[in-house]
Amino acid sequence: MIAKAVPRHFVFTLALFLSTSVMLNSQETANTFLLTVFLRHDQTKNVNEINEIVGKNGFRDKFPPQGIEVVSWYVMMGIGQVVTLRVPPARLREVNLAIEQGAWGGYRTEFYPTYDYKPIWQQTWPSAKTK
């Protein structure tokens, strides 16, 4: 299985790079934070079995909760899906419940607070200034 061969720190680092650019000073982001959600495929099930479970659970209707912005949504082969959301802190429980009620059984889940490092990289790394 590929997932067991991939170090966890590599997957976390990759998820940070997959997040799209965010303007940190804008009013839109002042009262929100980025949350990266790993929907790890349960490799004991095929994709049809996973879809059946999350379908019965209503996951596609529950996630993301209405009004929560999807910043990015990638398929990471051998891992599953990686979703980055912009979440107001007061709505974090809604996101958690949508995952618990909809994704569990079909996916194993992980959550990581995330921030956009690209502007910092561009300002502080000499190699970034030439790219």
pLDDT for 19 equals 42
Does 79 reside within a domain?
yes
pLDDT at residue 45, rounded to an integer = 93
In a domain, 25, yes or no: no
Tokens of 72: 């990015």
Q: Which two tokens stand for residue 98?
A: 């949508």
Token output for 89? 């802190």
- Cα 108 from Cα 100, distance rounded (Å): 10
Q: Tell me, what CATH number does 42's domain have?
A: 3.30.70.240
Least confident range of 1-10, 45-54, 64-73, 113-122? 1-10
Chain-wide mean pLDDT for the chain? 83
Query: Does 14 map to a domain?
Result: no
Check: CB of residue 42 under 8 Å from CB of residue 107.
yes
The span from the CA of 10 to the CA of 8, in Å, is 5
Q: Identify which has the larger pLDDT, 61 or 122.
A: 61
Residue 51, in any domain of the structure: yes
Q: Which residue has the higher pLDDT, 29 or 35?
A: 35
* Cα 73 to Cα 1: distance, rounded to the nearest angstrom: 23
Domain-embedded: residue 109: yes
pTM as predicted = 0.72
pLDDT at 122: 86
Residue 46 lies in a domain: yes
**57 assigned to some structural domain:** yes
pLDDT range class, residue 59, cuts 50, 70, 90 = very high
Domain count, the chain: 1
Q: What is the pLDDT of residue 1?
A: 44
Please say whether the beta carbons of 93 and 67 come within 8 A. Answer: no
Q: Helices 92-102 and 47-57: crossing angle, nearest 10°?
A: 120
Q: What is the pLDDT of residue 107?
A: 96
Which domain does 114 fall in, by range?
A: 30-124
SS3 69: strand
Give the model confidence (pLDDT) of 67-113 as tens digits. 999 999 999 998 999 999 999 999 999 999 999 999 999 999 999 99
Whether 68 is in a domain gets the answer yes
Residue carrying structure tokens 């561009």: 122
